[in-house]
Structure 1
């Protein structure tokens, strides 16, 4: 069964900020995030996703492609697809580092027109609508 992880998008107040940050790291259709500890269940995570938390909500995901050591040798890089997919906003408390997320608890992706319409909303408005469980 596929396993996912959650991670707080520190310093990001909206999805566009996270998208710009990840595009800055993108190289050849891949990007990465650095973590101090390599997940013990890494084989279950390949093919899963990192679900990003912004303002106490899961808002987007990126597919996990693999793991490698960081050049400094002290950390682990989680290799990700460069594509950031919006998901149906789901409440999630902030935490340090990353946490496992079972596939059954992962929110669904937003569909084409639905995702385009929501991405056009200002971040504050989208957050208010999500808080009211309208999106």
Structure 2
């Protein structure tokens, strides 16, 4: 897909990629057609670029660990009457190489060239299941 931009977002309260996947299977986190979504107060100004092949990169315990392709941006009007953006996601969570991220509010744009690579298909299960603290330490010294 051509010219696109990604988002990076903290997954607050998430312990692992697996617990994020479990949360996304709950009705509360899904669209009416069954896709996982993340509702945010702000509407991305670069929506066209996001929808041109962008993903959301999830920061779990201070480390980017996974991504999901963004399928669409839906308008959601809350009970309070405020317009919000539901970032609708492909249910497939793709584990990525780890990358440290300092805490931040909301989401940030992430250029494709600055985005962590997907874990290679031949990576062992042991490589993919490092504890978050160890993955963060390895990322800090440039090993992962």
Secondary structure of 2:123's match? Answer: helix
Tell me the secondary structure at the aligned position of residue 44 of structure 1.
Answer: helix
Q: Select the residue among 43, 46, 53 that pairs with 2:59.
A: 53
Contact 1:61 1:86 (C-alpha < 8 Å) held by counterparts: yes
Cα distance in 2 between the residues matched to 1:37 and 1:115 = 38
Q: Partners in 1 of 2:37 and 2:140 — Cα distance?
A: 30
Quick one: which of 45, 68, 80 aligns to 1:40?
Answer: 45
CA shift, 1:33, in A, is 0.4
Q: Distance in 2 between matches of 1:110 and 1:48?
A: 17
Q: Report the CA distance between 1:31 and its aligned residue.
A: 1.1
Q: Superposition RMSD on alpha carbons, in Å?
A: 2.2
Shift in CA distance, 118/30, structure 1 to aligned 2, threshold 3 Å = farther
Q: Which has the higher helix share?
A: 1
1:11 match: 13
Displacement of 1:29 in angstroms is 6.6
Identify which range, 38-47 or 12-21, moves more after superposition: 12-21
Q: Does 2:62 match 1:62?
A: no
TM-score (ref. length: structure 1) = 0.85
5+ long unaligned stretches in structure 2:
none
Note if 1:20 corresponds to 2:29: no
Instruction: Provide, for residues 11-62 of structure 1, a one-character-per-residue CA deviation record: whole Å limited to 9, x for no partner.
Output: 1122222221123235767211000111111010012000111222211101
Query: What are the within-5 Å matches in structure 2 for residues 1-135 of structure 1?
Result: 1-24=3-26, 25=29, 30-46=35-51, 47-72=53-78, 74-114=83-123, 116-135=125-144
- Deviating beyond 6 angstroms after TM superposition, the runs of 4 or more aligned structure 1 residues are none
